Structure 1
Amino acid sequence: MKTRFKRFTALLCALLCLYSIFPCKVSAVSTSATSSVLMDVDSGRVLYAQNENKKMLIASTTKIMTALVALENGELRGTVKVTAEAANTEGSSMYLKAGEKLTLETLLYGLMLSSGNDAAVAVAQGVAGSTDKFVKLMNQKAKELGMNGTSFANPNGLDDEKHYSTARDMAVLACAAMNNEAFARIVSTRSVTVGGRTLTNHNKLLSYVDGCIGLKTGYTKAAGRTLVSCARRNGQRLVAVTLQDGNDWADHAALYDYGFSQYPAHRAMTIGETVGTLAVTGGVSTAIPVVAAESFSWPLAQGEKLEVRFELPESVKAPVTAGTKVGHAVFTLSGKETGRVELLCGGDALSAIQPPSSLLRRMGELLKKC
C-alpha cells in the first residue's frame, strides 16, 4: 500500500513539474454574437473574427461615426440651436427642448453617454445644416476608411434597410475614432454635468472590464444588442465588436482576456533608435548613423516572430543633413508585410570639399587673427 502511495505521489509530482514547464494553452474564445471581431487598434490586426463581413443592423453604435464626423467638421465650442425636429426625435434621448442653445461638445456628451437620438439630429443639423447633408459626410468618411460593407441612412441608428454595417467595418471605425483625442475623452467619461444636465454613460464595461476606455452601446428590437468597446492594458489597445449578442458584456470581457493574453504587442522598433550605419561618399566622415523615424509594434502570438529587412542605398553623397529620408525598415510575418518605418540620417554629413564661400569666410577669419 505504501509503495503504491509513493508511486502515485511521484507521478503527481512529475505531472506538476511538466505542467509548470509546459503551461496549458488558453482555448480559443467564442461569443454568443451573430457577428463579432477583436482588433488591435494600432496595427489593425484581427485577433478574432466570426461572420465579420456579414451586413447587419448596428443600432446606436452608429453614433461612433456621428461623433467622429462632427469632431472633424465642427467646432466643439460652437453653439447649436435645437430644432423642433431634433427635440421630437423618437427613441433614446437627452431630453432636448426646441429653441435651446447648446455647445456641440455638450451635444456630443449627450450623444455618446445618454445615446440621445435627439442629440444625433441636433449634431447633424448643427454641423452640416441638415440631416441629409450630414449623412452624406458619414458615408464619405466610411468610404475613406475602407468600410466597404457599410451604408448610413441616419445619424442615430434607427432601423432602415439602407442603414447597415459589418463587425469588421465597425472595428475599423472604432480604431480611427479612438485616435481622435476629443472623441476618446468623451467616450471614456462615466458621468458628467454639462448644459444643465447630468449625463451617465450607458457603457457598463467602463467599470466592469479592466482597462476599458469607452465606446458605444446600441439596441433596437430588429438589431438586437450591439456593442463596440475599447480597452487598454500595458500600453496596448484592443477594440471588440459584437452584433446581435444577448450576452455582450461577458463576451467583451472574454474577448479582452483572450486578446491581451494571447496576442501581446511586441515593440520591434523605437523612434530615434539607431538601426545601423550608411556609407558616405565625398564627405568629411565615411559613415553616418541611420535612425527610425517612428516606433513600430505588432501583436504576436506565442511562436510568431517578426522579420525585418532594410531598404537602403549602398551610400549617400555628402552633404546631407540630419532627418533626411534614406530608406525603410520593412517588417514581415510569415512572409507577409505587416508594416514599414521610414529611416532617416541620424546626423549631418559635411562635404569634404568646402564651397568657395566657406573658404573665403575662413580665410577672412584667419586674416583677422593676424
Structure 2
Amino acid sequence: MGKRIAGILLAVLILVFAMPARVGAVSTSATAAILVDADSGRVLYEQNADARMLIASTTKIMTALVAIREGNLSDTVKVSKKAAYTEGSSMYLKVGEELTLETLLYGLMLCSGNDAAVAIAEHVGGSEAGFAKLMNETAAELGMEHTSFANPNGLDHEDHYSTARDMAVLACAAMNNEILARIVSTRTVTIGGRTMTNHNKLLSYMDGCIGLKTGYTQAAGRTLVSCAEQEGQRLVAVTLQDGNDWADHQALYEYGFSTYPSQRLATLGQQLQEAAVQGGAVSTVPLIAADTVSWPTAKGERVETRIELEQPLTAPLTAGNRVGQAVFTWKGQEIGRVDLLCGGNVAPAVESAWNTLKLPG
C-alpha cells in the first residue's frame, strides 16, 4: 500500500474512532487537545478536538513534510532578503547565504526558524503563496478538513488555522516519513559551523519522546505536537493554547500507554486459521498473515476477527498466493485487515492418488 494512501486511511480512522477519555482518567490545561495511537488512528483522549485554533509554529510540521515530498535534500538554497529579515524565531540566516535544503529543515524544526520557513517556501514553491498552495493541497490529501494554511511559519493570519484532530493527522503522517522522523528526533546538531538545539524539551525530559514541534505566538498561546514510543507502540499528543503543555503531554502519555496497550491482532507469518480445500490431497490448508496488525486495547475490550476468502479454495493451490483477508472489527466497526496467504502447496486429490499408484522405474 502506498504511503500516501495509508496516510489517508489513517486520517479516516482518526475521524471515525473519536472517543472521550474515561471520566476522571486524565485532564489538561489546554483549550483543545487530543491523544492518538499513531499506527492505528484510534483516538484515546480528546478535548475540543474539532475547535478551530491558531497553531503557531506547529505549522512547520507541514512545511517540512511538503519540502521533503516536493524538494531534494541536497538542493542548494540561496537565502533571500525577505527570508533573512523574517520576524520571530530564527536560525539567523544571512542574505545571500547558501545552504542545503536539508540544513534548512534542521533549522526549521530544531530552531523553529521563521527565516528557514520562508527560504524553504521560496525554493520549493516559488513563493510563500505558491508554497501555501502546496501545503493546502497536502492537507486536503491527508483529510485535514478543518485546516487552512496561509504561510509556512505559523505567524498569525485569519486564513491560517487548524484543529487538534487535524494536527494529529498531520503528526502521524510526519512520523511515518523516515526523513522527517529523523530530523524531529534530533536533540542537537552542528552543520557548517552552525549548532542547532531542538526547542522540544520533551526529547530530554521524557523517556520515549521521539519528536515533533513546539509553537508560540501571543494570540495562539503555547502549542505543542509530540510523539512518544513505548514497547513498539507510538502515540501522538496535541495541545493547543496550553500554558502547562510539557506536564500535560507527559500525563497524556502515562494515561495512554497504561490504559491502552497495543494488542497484536496478527503477526507477519502467523497462522490465523485453517481453511477447507476442495478436491485436494489434504482437506485443509493454513491461512498465513501477510503483515502485522495491532490495535490499542483497554482492559475488557474485545476485537473480533472475520475471515473473507476470495473464493472457495480448490486444489491445486500454491504456497504464498493470496487467498483472502482477515478483517478485524471493534464495536461493529472495521479497524483493520490483513491479506491471507496460502500456507502450503496442495495437489489435486486425483494427482496425489495417481502418484501413489505409480510403480517405481
SS in 1 for 2:299: coil
Q: Whose Rg is larger?
A: 1
Correspondence for 1:337: 334
Q: Output the amino acid matched with 1:208.
A: Y
Q: Output the amino acid matched with 1:98.
A: V
| 341 and 81 in structure 1: CA distance in 2 versus 1, 3 angstrom threshold | same
Once structures 1 and 2 are overlaid, which stretch shifts more, 300-309 or 63-72?
300-309
1:142 aligns with 2:142: no
Q: How many residues are aligned here?
A: 335
Correspondence for 1:49: 46
Q: 2:301 aligns with which of 296, 300, 304?
A: 304
Correspondence for 1:315: 312
Q: 1:87 aligns with which of 77, 84, 89?
A: 84
Matches within 5 A, 1:190-229: 190-229=187-226
Q: Output the amino acid matched with 2:111.
A: S
Once structures 1 and 2 are overlaid, which stretch shifts more, 66-75 or 305-314?
305-314
- Residue 136 of structure 1 deviates from its aligned partner by 1.1
Matches within 5 A, 1:51-130: 51-130=48-127
SS in 1 for 2:195: strand
1:274 aligns with 2:271: yes
Q: Contact 1:61–1:217 at 8 Å: present in 2 too?
A: yes
- Residue 352 of structure 1 deviates from its aligned partner by 6.1
Deviation sequence 1:244-268 (CA, Å, 0-9, x none): 0011111111111111111111111
Once structures 1 and 2 are overlaid, which stretch shifts more, 68-77 or 43-52?
68-77
Correspondence for 2:17: none
SS in 1 for 2:132: helix
How far apart, in 2, do the equivalents of 1:244 and 1:190 lie?
A: 24
How far apart, in 2, do the equivalents of 1:151 and 1:59 lie?
A: 13
SS in 1 for 2:105: helix
Correspondence for 1:255: 252
| 284 and 303 in structure 1: CA distance in 2 versus 1, 3 angstrom threshold | closer
- Residue 128 of structure 1 deviates from its aligned partner by 2.3
Q: 1:324 aligns with which of 302, 312, 321?
A: 321
Q: 2:241 aligns with which of 237, 241, 244?
A: 244
| 98 and 322 in structure 1: CA distance in 2 versus 1, 3 angstrom threshold | farther
How far apart, in 1, do the equivalents of 2:28 and 2:48 lie?
A: 11
| 276 and 217 in structure 1: CA distance in 2 versus 1, 3 angstrom threshold | same
| 134 and 347 in structure 1: CA distance in 2 versus 1, 3 angstrom threshold | farther
Correspondence for 1:181: 178
Instruction: Name the Cα RMSD after superposition.
Output: 2.2
How far apart, in 1, do the equivalents of 2:127 and 2:195 lie?
A: 27
Return 5+ residue gaps in structure 1 as ranges.
1-24, 355-368
Deviation sequence 1:108-144 (CA, Å, 0-9, x none): 0000000000101111122222222211111111111
- Residue 312 of structure 1 deviates from its aligned partner by 2.0
Deviation sequence 1:54-102 (CA, Å, 0-9, x none): 0000000000001111111111122111111111111111011121211
SS in 2 for 1:28: coil
SS in 2 for 1:89: coil
Correspondence for 2:19: none
Return 5+ residue gaps in structure 2 as ranges.
1-21, 352-359
SS in 2 for 1:102: strand
How far apart, in 1, do the equivalents of 2:284 and 2:343 lie?
A: 11
Q: Output the amino acid matched with 1:37.
A: I
TM-score, length-scaled by structure 1 = 0.86
How far apart, in 1, do the equivalents of 2:350 and 2:114 lie?
A: 70
